[in-house]
Structure 1
Amino acid sequence: MATSIREQFRVTKKTEIKDENAALKPLSSGDKAADKVTVQTLALQIAEQQAMLYASHSKKVLVVLQGMDTSGKDGTVNGVFGSVNPEGIRVISYKAPSPLELQHDYLWRIHQQVPKQGELAVFNRSHYEDVLITRVHDWIDAAEAKRRYGHINDFERMLSETGTVVLKFFLHISKEEQRSRLQERVDDPNKHWKFDVQDLEERKSWDDYQKVYLQAIQATDTDHAPWYVIPANSKTHRNLAIANIVLETLQGMKLAYPPAKKELAGLKVS
């Protein structure tokens, strides 16, 4: 039996986060232009699936995008979900918690943003920041991280059991690729708005982030909320892989438009 694309990128206990794996392109045709056309085709198919999701107003989908700075979270939103009708999609970007958010548990602000019926929500960063940056900088210890993994697993199980399909993507770039992308932002005045000096500070903890990411992914990969590790040095291949997985998942949900209304049969609009 052929391996599905989801299975190809699904994390396993043997998964490792190595720089050399970030450049892999197993789905590429070898023709970048052709691959971009394929991504556009997949994006349109995702839009059609989302139209049925929105019309049926029953199921919900949550896509989580995580990765180091410059890994392509914004690019994924544009490339994979850019054709979806804005009525049926919501993108939420998480920054540092506000004073109000800090007065609550760390999942409080997350729960307010989960998708409603018929909606596809995309988290650009997410609740995983609370077991990543917090752990790298020793704001929480290993015992607290383990407790939070349990909280997250319970939270995502609740979402699944109440009708939300959860997909989690780690956009895996190499340290050298990040350096190149950061330098590009510095060199191009039109991209200065994307550059944050704090990114350079976080880059100093690169190895720690790779270790903590793998720990978090392994601890929270479940059948109801699977993790996928996506080689992301190639922006086109990144979008190709994620679009395939999203479409494969949506098609597996057996979405359909609501049944036709019998009372409208033969109705003539004057």
Structure 2
Amino acid sequence: MEQSIRKRFSVAGGSWVTVDVYGEPDAPGLVVVPGAMSDAYGWRTVATAVDAWPSVAVVNRRGRAPSGPMTSAYSLRTEVADLGVVLDGLGGAQALFGWSYGGLIALVAADERPLRQVIAYEPVMRPFGLDVLPGLKAAQEAADPGGAVEIVHRRLAGLDGAAVDALRADPEVWAALCRLAGPLYAELAALYGEPAPEALARRADRVDLIVGGTSRGRAPYGTSFDDVARRVPHAGVHELPGQGHMAHLQAPAELGRLIGGLAAAR
């Protein structure tokens, strides 16, 4: 389906959130919540590959253009409240999908309000990223987004120096990554702003958790997935074979088909 409209919602602290809607703009459908180092644009190919709902609305969370600033009072609760504004504004969302940090946001939201279905791909929670938090803080204080990008790709994603150098060699790609790194420290720190939840998504009728085949059982994404799954004992667990954390970029059509298949299985 093609993008049909962009909507804007005012949220707390004088900020705002934009949502790119694909398909029928006023029909309830799937709401997608990207994670850190990602924006609505990065999910466009997945959105167009999903056809199980009449619409797919991709949230561009605060801190990434054209949405508004993070604001000083930012926390995980800020994200959950923002998502609540979006869900209320869209009206009658049939399902919620979140990736990585966005997956945690979706699962926390489903612990606070009734939702028909929540799907999360490799959601993360503390102690995820604790070892890189000081480095990200230092990069932010030094106004060094490139340093933050390197930390994420080498110490979390596990890329070697040659792969990071290849990213840096493309000025357009590197500039985009640096822009996306702007909110990174605040987002990762938000995982530690309150105690880890004992349970998640208790008000969702159905929960589906997806892990990439190359991530399963491996730190940091597979082990964080396991931490989340233990807190959602009623969830169905699914694997996307041959894929890791970046499946939305490396296999968007496969991911879109899997998401749609979970809707058809209801």
Structure 1 and Structure 2 fold alike (TM over 0.5)? no
More strand by proportion, 1 or 2?
Answer: 2
More helix by proportion, 1 or 2?
Answer: 1
TM-score scaled by length of structure 1: 0.42
| Greater Rg by CA | 1
Point out which structure has higher relative CO (alpha carbons under 8 A, 6+ apart). Answer: 1
